[in-house]
Amino acid sequence: MPLTRRAALAAPALLLAPRAHAQAFPQRAVRVIVPYTPGGVSDITARLMAEPLAAMWGQPVPVENRAGADGVIGTEALARSAPDGHTLSVVSIGHPINAAFYKLPFDTMRDFSFVTQTTSTPLVLCAAKGFAANTPAEVVAQAKRSPGMTFAGTSGVVRLAPLLFAQLTGIELTYVPYRGSTAAHPDLMAGRVDIMFDTVPAALPHLQSGALKALATTGAQRAPQLPDVPTLGEAFLPGFEASTWGMVIAPAGVPAETMAKLNADCVAALRRPEVVDRHKVLGAEIVTSSPEQARAFCQAELAKWGEAARKAGIQPQ
């Protein structure tokens, strides 16, 4: 049947309409998986971002905690999600470090898109107030004079940072495992374990009370909470950095235009003054990046900590 003039003019618009609709983002709620228990920095970051993102997108942004296996369970759920931008995750440095400890059900780099970095939180090399050494150099000298120095470790970078420090300085440190910082601090303060590379927020109350002393921090710059404590890089080991951090990731294969919008909107949400201020209270600095920068940073961390773990004889289980 021949088309009328009106139908012929409308046909191209009708053909284009479904395509334009398919490219719109978001079309529904955007779920954010946090692969850790509630209350940590990654969880708080996700929840602080959710409200402004929901306002920008006109869609709900529910946050779902799927903890277990140091983040592996929730991250696997993300990897298996549709790559359309409607499922995201806020992960920590555990994302690349887990490859050193576990045989993962996904590939750390290949199975994910990297949206933006979110935060950075330095560690602090600390010891009991009566510990003989007061600087990183003195720690190394003491370890060389009297082998058998111990360090309190939990998991992830808190375990690997002292191992990297030992490898770079030629000393031996014995790992004493703990379930968390709270469990390690009494033994550290009592001198039953010698040193610890802990996160600044976790150690800060004991540093402020004088029960622990800070020998150095491990960020690129001095920690705002400890402005008189030099970084390990400036005090002894130039270039040494070991911080916990956060990152927004998505399944691999998210379309480029969706990735661009995710990056722009997540960065805008993170840079809101109330979000920046809340993270300062937590001892974390907001750090944003392009998708390319986020991927390169995660790849560098994967290589750095993987090598440290291999040199220490750690095998994925």
> Of the residues 235, 259, 279, which one is the last residue of a structural domain?
235
Strand 285-286, strand 174-177: pairing: unpaired
| Structural domain contains residue 35 | yes
| Structural contact between residues 143 and 116, judged by C-beta atoms closer than 8 angstroms | no
Together in a domain, 143 and 180: yes
Residue 15: the pLDDT is 46
Together in a domain, 110 and 48: yes
Domain with 227 in it: what CATH number?
Answer: 3.40.190.10
Residue 23: the pLDDT is 60
Give the C-alpha separation, 140 to 107, whole Å.
37
Together in a domain, 131 and 223: yes
| Count of CB atoms situated within 10 Å of the CB of 252 | 15
Together in a domain, 268 and 301: yes
Together in a domain, 147 and 230: yes
Give the C-alpha separation, 304 to 254, whole Å.
27
**The tokens of 266 are what?**
């997540």
Residue 2: the pLDDT is 47
Together in a domain, 253 and 112: yes
| Count of CB atoms situated within 10 Å of the CB of 289 | 18
Q: How many domains does the chain have?
A: 2
The three-state (H, E, C) secondary structure of the chain, written as one string:
CCCCHHHHHHHHHHHHHHHHHHHCCCCCCCEEEECCCCCCHHHHHHHHHHHHHHHHHCCCCCEEECCCHHHHHHHHHHHCCCCCCCEEEEEECHHHHHHHHCCCCCCCCCCEEEEEEEEEEEEEEEEECCCCCCCHHHHHHHHHHCCCCEEEECCCHHHHHHHHHHHHHCCCCEEEECCCHHHHHHHHHHCCCCEEEEEHHHHHHHHHHCCEEEEEECCCCCCCCCCCCCEHHHHCCCCCCCEEEEEEEEECCCCHHHHHHHHHHHHHHHCCHHHHHHHHHHCCEECCCCHHHHHHHHHHHHHHHHHHHHHCCCCCC
Residue 155: the pLDDT is 87
Residue count (the chain): 317
Residue 19: the pLDDT is 43
Together in a domain, 110 and 137: no
- Tokens 């550290």 correspond to what residue? 188
Distances (CA, A) of 54 to 38, 126, 191, 279: 20, 41, 49, 20
User: In the chain, what is the greatest distance between 2 CA atoms, to the nearest angstrom?
Assistant: 96
Confidence (pTM): 0.88
> Of the residues 235, 258, 290, which one is the last residue of a structural domain?
235
* pLDDT tens profile 95-124: 999 999 999 999 999 999 999 999 999 999
Task: Per residue of the chain (317 residues), give pLDDT as tens.
Answer: 444 444 444 444 444 444 444 468 999 999 999 999 999 999 999 999 999 999 999 999 999 999 999 999 999 999 999 999 999 999 999 999 999 999 999 999 999 999 999 999 999 999 999 999 999 999 999 999 999 999 999 989 999 999 999 999 999 999 999 998 999 999 999 999 999 999 999 999 999 999 999 999 999 999 999 999 999 999 899 999 999 999 999 999 999 999 999 999 999 999 999 999 999 988 899 999 999 999 999 999 999 999 999 999 999 99
> Of the residues 184, 206, 235, which one is the last residue of a structural domain?
235
Which residue in 187, 185, 159, 184 sits closest to 173, CA to CA? 159
